[in-house]
Amino acid sequence: MKSFLTLVAVSSLAIILPAAALAQSTVNATTTPARQGMAQLGDPYVPAHVKAAARVAAKPAAAGASLQERALQKLQAKFSEADSSNSGSVTKTQAQQAGFGFVANNFEQIDVNHAGRVTFDNVKTYMRANGANF
């Protein structure tokens, strides 16, 4: 009787072990390559700076309109800074002195009237012609 039980146990193991090994290799084949060499955010070994960067990236970005509005406000502020004479226009020299490199570098294209001065509307028109959406 003892030998019969041993035979049944060995036979059962012979059937179960290969099936379990096959199932485990299938699980590894489907899950390991995607994770291989990469830590997941839920893993305890992910460095704190990686988690922090992921949280920042996951925050919703500013809406397109408000982002464009902020960009336009920054551009207006820089233009006003360059307009040291408060005339509503800027010369190439004023743009260079204020560090307004975009206007200084593209001055000839922005100054379509060849007046030697550009207004904020001239700058906006030039930027819109080159892809800006404000």
Of 17-26, 34-43, 61-70, which has the strongest mean pLDDT?
A: 61-70
Q: Could you tell me where the DSSP H helices lie in 1-134?
A: 2-35, 48-58, 64-82, 92-97, 101-105, 107-110, 120-129
| 47-52-54-59 Cα dihedral, nearest 10 degrees | 170
Q: What is the pTM of this model?
A: 0.51
| pLDDT digits 0-9 by tens, 28-57 | 545 455 555 555 656 667 677 777 777 766
pLDDT at 88 exceeding the cut of 80: yes
Contact (CB, 8 A) for 84 and 94? yes
